[in-house]
Amino acid sequence: MKLNKVIVLLVLMGLAWSCKKDEENPIVEVPPRPPAEVKIENDAEIQAFLKSHFYNYEEFNNPPENFDFKIKIDTLAGDNADKTPLLSQMDTEEIVVPSKSLGLDDEGSTTQILYYLIAREGVGGLPTVADSVYVGYEGNLLNGFVFDSRSYSWQYLPGAVSRFVTGYPYGVAHFKVGDGIVSNPDGTTKITNSGIGFFIMPSALGYYDIDQPGIPAYSNLLFKID
């Protein structure tokens, strides 16, 4: 009986100490930063990236034998200093993002710029943001870190996002579909004559202020698409 009283007392003391500690070090929720402010920083980083990098456009323009049609991005330096920078090759789309979709209470919005590049046109029609697509992709930060990669699979674009990565369906919708799905002997698949390229979107079209594994808050995202 005395032992039980001692255990109860220790538990109560522990709870009291824990509550006191929480009062001394309360958890402070940091609200999202203003979208207009973040937009300036994001676009500056994207512009710097586009000015200092190129992709393997020469291989796409004149495919060598056994070319895998994979997007490769590198810096404009050394032997590659005279390559054409991405900045002169990208197309853009403006997307209006309500502040509420970023976790803010105000009624405002910002116009965010999605950058995209089509390396291979594709032969079919364009999907919409409401379609299902058979797609392979690789998600990167602008420093080259790969945070996600998936071989070809069906993806329902409206279901691919929640309040996050709202720009992804818009990016995918710029790439035409191919004319067939081929099964390889090793069990993998590929799409023939598909649209191939990549798009870059600012954080307001991605995870914005939410940290993800390998993705810091307010990160720009790059997706290579097939």
pTM of the model: 0.85
Please state, in angstroms and rounded to a whole number, the distance separating the CA atoms of residues 129 and 136. Answer: 16
pLDDT per 10-residue tile (average), the chain, 226 residues: 46 50 62 93 98 98 95 98 98 95 90 98 93 93 95 83 78 94 84 95 96 94 97
Question: Phi and psi (nearest 5°) for 41?
Answer: -65, -45
Please give the pLDDT value at position 11: 44
Question: Phi and psi (nearest 5°) for 24?
Answer: -75, -30
Please give the pLDDT value at position 118: 98
CA angle 154, 116, 143 (to 5 degrees): 90
**pLDDT over 90, % of the chain:** 69
What is the torsional sign of CA 77, 147, 151, 162?
negative
Query: Three-class SS of residue 167?
Result: coil
pLDDT tens, 154-178?
888 887 655 568 899 999 999 999 9
Please state, in angstroms and rounded to a whole number, the distance separating the CA atoms of residues 199 and 181. Answer: 23
- Dihedral angle over CA of 127, 130, 135, 141, nearest 10: 110
Q: Could you tell me which residues come within 8 angstroms of residue 46 by beta carbon, excluding any fewer than 6 positions away?
A: 113, 115, 142, 200, 202, 220
